[in-house]
Chains A and B, each alone.
Chain A
Amino acid sequence: MAGTNPLIRDRDVDFQLYEVHDAEQLCKLPHFAEHTREIFDLWLRSAAKLAREQFYPAFKPMDEKGAELIDGRIKSPEGMAELFDAAVDLGLITAARPESVGGSQLPLTVSVVGYLYLMAGNSGAVGYPLLTAGAAHLIESFGSEALKATFMKRMYAGEWVGTMSLTEPGAGSGLGDITSTATPIEGREAEGAHHIRGSKIFISGGDLDFRDNIVHLTLARRPGDPPGVKGISLFAVPRLRPSAGLEDPSNEDAGEGEIAVEFNDVHTSQLIHKIGWKGLPSLGLSYGEADDCVGWIVGEPCRGLSYMFQMMNEARILVGANGTATASAAYHQSVDYARERKQGRSLDPRQKTKEPIPIIEHPDVKRMLLRQKAIVEASMCLVMTASRYNDVAEHGANEGDRKRARMILDILTPITKTFPAERGFESTSLALQIHGGYGYSSEYLPELWFREQRLNSIHEGTTTIQGLDLLGRKVVANMGQSLMVLMEEIRADIEVARKDGVDEALCEAVKIEVARVGGLTQVLGQRGMSGDVLGMMAHSHDYLCLFSNFIVAWQWLRMAGAASRGLTEAHDPDSEAFYRAKLEAARYWIRTELPDNARLAELCESNEDSYLKVPDSAW
């Protein structure tokens, strides 16, 4: 199956990194000073190679035979062990982590591209390294030195893996309602040891057969702590616990080599049958059935959810990366198919041949391809924009830069999570459509990408949650201050695009949206302030769609600017075609998709309330 699908096109990566996002500029920040373009390029070449030669060939076989639950343990799909080893060797887990914890301090702007390649090859297989990195990062940020020595070091080394263990059967999006408990163990208060009891569900990668130990970063409530989100604490709960307790971090070789472990009463209770991502099993876990499950508190009590939220920006950017990657692989496959598949005759009277023509020559197929291209490349640009703000928010030259970047990132995060997932699903659906009847058959890959992509609208906060987050928390709650900073940035970019020679009509169209989004936000904000919160939030989804269309138009304007600059220096037909296609995709988005914002704004403003008025009994 290792065909010619590039998954992510290298030329697009270069364009994004160096012509749109100026990744080399990041090397001027002290935190990234050791890096150079050569390092970025060499590492990404390794990632692309790994994706194309190992992750992608394993994709369909893993879908056909995923993980199995046998006698209470997970048997991982064939090949998963090798892929995990390869991802660890590549340096994926610690790519963006600081040198002080054994990382390479790569900007997220670059490491996210490594993820893009691998996700486009095989989403599920990337799950284990990605979740391990996230779980270890939580311990790095908030855990004690003993937790870091015992768990984090081994997870960053890829010796143990990790999960995020949040959801319960009765508490998914509403985490305030979790019922898992953590009871302090008498005499072991100093090390933060608790007895954990409870059940979790939908725990991705919650068990495996290619590593002995797995550390679940688990949310639970201590006795006496307040109900709701304010009483939730975070615990590190391993499947196998160190027999002698946590390691002493003052020992030089703490966290290295083998240590004695024993079973920690964590059970795999259920393997959920699902429609995609079969390389990464989604499990039910049960803790403390024999009252012998020990978890160590991470950070302060009752701060569990806020710790999780601090990790959320990055996690949500990576879901956006996944939506982008899946849609990208499907797009390239449909281009390839449309060039080869011959059906129908040309409508062009100048075309003399009476033979069937490749379907790529039919205008409506071109329309579907350009829509995919516009969605895929804008998604990629958006993911990298958010990653770059994340890099500056964490490592910017001064507090002013960092704060500004953080404010913009906060607003961009729900959009970066949602747009590649929602529109990426439409894009993947178009790839299936272009394949016709073959697309609907499981012989071909588009239906598989279609199933895989569907998850991205659900995990790490559903689209509904992202809509509420954007309008309620990110825009209105801070009185539109973050929005103002973002708008300044966009207005400045419109001027840059003008100077680069981008079509005036396109620049103007985006400028009109700046005013529209600003005006609409004021109307909704005032509605909320006056006490009508339901009225403000009833169209949170439409607001999210409108905002996303606008942000994506901004991305296309930036790409159009870079393409215009590139065109002036391009002296071979391939480069010229590359840049011209970017300009057409920008025009497509702004002329064809962006006008939908007038309708969406009208729905929000008029507070169209048909769905609120349907009598409950009539659903």
Chain B
Amino acid sequence: MTKILVTVKRIPDPDENLKFANGGLDLSSVKWVPNAFDEYAVETALRLAEDVGSKKTKHAEIIVLSICPAKQRQHMTQFLAMGGDRGVIVDANDADYDTAAIAKMIAKVAQDEGVDMVITGKLSQDNEGNQVGQRVAALLGWPQACFAAEVDWDQGSNSLKVAREVDDGVETKQVPLPALVTVDLRVVLPTSVRNGINPADHKFTDGPRLASLRGITMAKRKKVKTVTPADLGVESAGGEKTTTINKPAARAAGQMVGSVEELVEKLATEAKVL
């Protein structure tokens, strides 16, 4: 059966205010939530795998991969509850590794599992790096289709037709499998993902599906394999270093000026921008 690897990440809740301490982010009391684009990635994989006419038939096995401390895996449970078949956890604090090291780990898991597709979110909402998917494709030597808004799986020709969000509109690309896809927001519209089996006009519920109570209790029984970065041949955290993270300086109060002349005067002499 076709195997799809989906990468997922937990991030500090983007709806909460950031706290800073000692030249970095204070994450001691943050609420961890799944990265929204990873929810879209899992939803994309589920729609590719599903046969809407028969709940029992599936067209792909979905493996969910996360690099996170093994004990902090609530996001993994959620993705398995949505419908992922099994999980792989790389027991490490992902923030300690740069994108190159992260990409190496993912590529190795993809090879070890012998997957046919890797689907990732286009970026994670915390640092918005937008690098991992592209790096993984390069390491594997696979074609990539990034920022997918629509995905068509042609099982006959073993390829994906992907409509990509690009600066001046939408570009459509055909990639042979194995391939890597990163997904964008519109991929979770009701008719964005087609697998050639479900009726072309089938409408999925808008947005990524919720973890149902039954799904959550079943997820607790699904298999999750834990490995270490060393198991995957990654010994170094990589070359990137974060020196400090600071809050931007607060904006100073504005001034009311009486005339255009005064404004020009102040811009020239005080602000020195003219």
The residues of A with any CB-CB pair to B shorter than 8 Å are 10, 34, 36, 38-39, 41-43, 45-46, 49-50, 53, 82, 85-86, 89-91, 94-95, 104, 106, 571-572, 574-575
Q: How far, in angstroms, from A10 to B220 measured CA to CA in the complex?
A: 23
Q: Are A575 and B210 in contact (CB under 8 A)?
A: no
Tell me how far the C-beta of A133 lies from the nearest C-beta in chain B, rounded to whole angstroms. 13
Picked from A34, A104, A574, the residue with its CB within 8 Å of the CB of B214 is A104
Tell me how far the C-beta of B46 lies from the nearest C-beta in chain A, rounded to whole angstroms. 13
B78 to chain A: closest residue by CB: A42
Neighbouring A residues of B19 by C-beta, 8 Å: 572
Neighbouring B residues of A82 by C-beta, 8 Å: 205
Tell me how far the C-beta of A414 lies from the nearest C-beta in chain B, rounded to whole angstroms. 30
Picked from B28, B77, B211, B213, the residue with its CB within 8 Å of the CB of A104 is B213
Q: Are A38 and B213 in contact (CB under 8 A)?
A: no
B21 to chain A: closest residue by CB: A572
Given known contacts A41-B74, A572-B19, A572-B29, is B210 in contact with A90 (CB within 8 Å)? yes
Please count the residue pairs between chain A and chain B whose beta carbons lie under 8 angstroms apart in the complex.
Answer: 55
Q: Are A42 and B211 in contact (CB under 8 A)?
A: yes
Neighbouring B residues of A36 by C-beta, 8 Å: 220
Q: Is B93 an interface residue (CB 8 A)?
A: no
Q: Are B212 and A91 in contact (CB under 8 A)?
A: yes
Q: Are A90 and B213 in contact (CB under 8 A)?
A: yes
B207 to chain A: closest residue by CB: A53
Q: Are B210 and A89 in contact (CB under 8 A)?
A: yes
Given known contacts A42-B81, A575-B29, is B74 in contact with A89 (CB within 8 Å)? no
A89 to chain B: closest residue by CB: B212
Given known contacts A53-B207, A572-B19, A572-B29, is B77 in contact with A95 (CB within 8 Å)? no
Q: Is B217 an interface residue (CB 8 A)?
A: yes
Neighbouring B residues of A94 by C-beta, 8 Å: 213
The 10 tightest CB contacts between A and B, nearest first, are A91-B213, A46-B210, A104-B213, A91-B212, A42-B216, A46-B211, A43-B213, A39-B216, A572-B29, A42-B78
Main secondary structure of the interface of B (DSSP, over half): loop
Q: How far, in angstroms, from A106 to B205 measured CA to CA in the complex?
A: 26
Interface string of B57-86 (1 = CB under 8 A from A): 000000000000000001001100100000
Q: How far, in angstroms, from A43 to B213 measured CA to CA in the complex?
A: 6
Q: Are A43 and B205 in contact (CB under 8 A)?
A: no
Q: How far, in angstroms, from A45 to B29 measured CA to CA in the complex?
A: 18
Tell me how far the C-beta of B47 lies from the nearest C-beta in chain A, rounded to whole angstroms. 15
Q: How far, in angstroms, from A359 to B217 measured CA to CA in the complex?
A: 47
Q: Mind listing 12 A-B residue pairs with CB under 8 Å?
A: A34-B217, A38-B220, A42-B81, A43-B213, A46-B211, A46-B212, A94-B213, A104-B213, A571-B29, A572-B28, A574-B29, A575-B29
Picked from B29, B31, B207, B212, the residue with its CB within 8 Å of the CB of A90 is B212
A10 to chain B: closest residue by CB: B31
A39 to chain B: closest residue by CB: B216
Q: Are B205 and A86 in contact (CB under 8 A)?
A: yes
Residue total for B at the interface (Cβ-Cβ under 8 A): 20
Neighbouring A residues of B205 by C-beta, 8 Å: 82, 85-86
Interface string of B198-229 (1 = CB under 8 A from A): 00000001010111111011001000000000
Neighbouring B residues of A571 by C-beta, 8 Å: 28-29
Chain A CB within 10 Å, residue with most, of B78, B81, B217: B217
Q: How far, in angstroms, from A572 to B21 measured CA to CA in the complex?
A: 11
Picked from B26, B28, B77, B210, the residue with its CB within 8 Å of the CB of A50 is B210
Q: How far, in angstroms, from A90 to B19 measured CA to CA in the complex?
A: 34
Q: How far, in angstroms, from A572 to B20 measured CA to CA in the complex?
A: 11
B214 to chain A: closest residue by CB: A91
Neighbouring B residues of A572 by C-beta, 8 Å: 19, 26, 28-29
Chain B CB within 10 Å, residue with most, of A46, A85, A95, A572: A46
A40 to chain B: closest residue by CB: B216
B209 to chain A: closest residue by CB: A89
Q: Are A39 and B220 in contact (CB under 8 A)?
A: yes
Picked from A41, A86, A95, the residue with its CB within 8 Å of the CB of B213 is A95
Q: Are A43 and B207 in contact (CB under 8 A)?
A: no
Interface string of B8-41 (1 = CB under 8 A from A): 0000000000010000001011010000000000
Tell me how far the C-beta of B222 lies from the nearest C-beta in chain A, rounded to whole angstroms. 13
Q: Are A49 and B210 in contact (CB under 8 A)?
A: yes
Q: How far, in angstroms, from A53 to B188 measured CA to CA in the complex?
A: 15
A34 to chain B: closest residue by CB: B217
Given contact pairs A46-B211, A91-B213, a sample of 8 additional A-B residue pairs in the complex whose CB atoms are under 8 Å apart = A34-B217, A39-B213, A39-B217, A41-B74, A43-B213, A45-B78, A91-B214, A95-B213
Neighbouring B residues of A91 by C-beta, 8 Å: 212-214
Given known contacts A86-B205, A572-B29, A575-B29, is B214 in contact with A42 (CB within 8 Å)? no
A575 to chain B: closest residue by CB: B29
Tell me how far the C-beta of B155 lies from the nearest C-beta in chain A, rounded to whole angstroms. 27
Picked from A43, A53, A85, the residue with its CB within 8 Å of the CB of B211 is A43
A572 to chain B: closest residue by CB: B29
B210 to chain A: closest residue by CB: A46
B81 to chain A: closest residue by CB: A42
Tell me how far the C-beta of B254 lies from the nearest C-beta in chain A, rounded to whole angstroms. 14
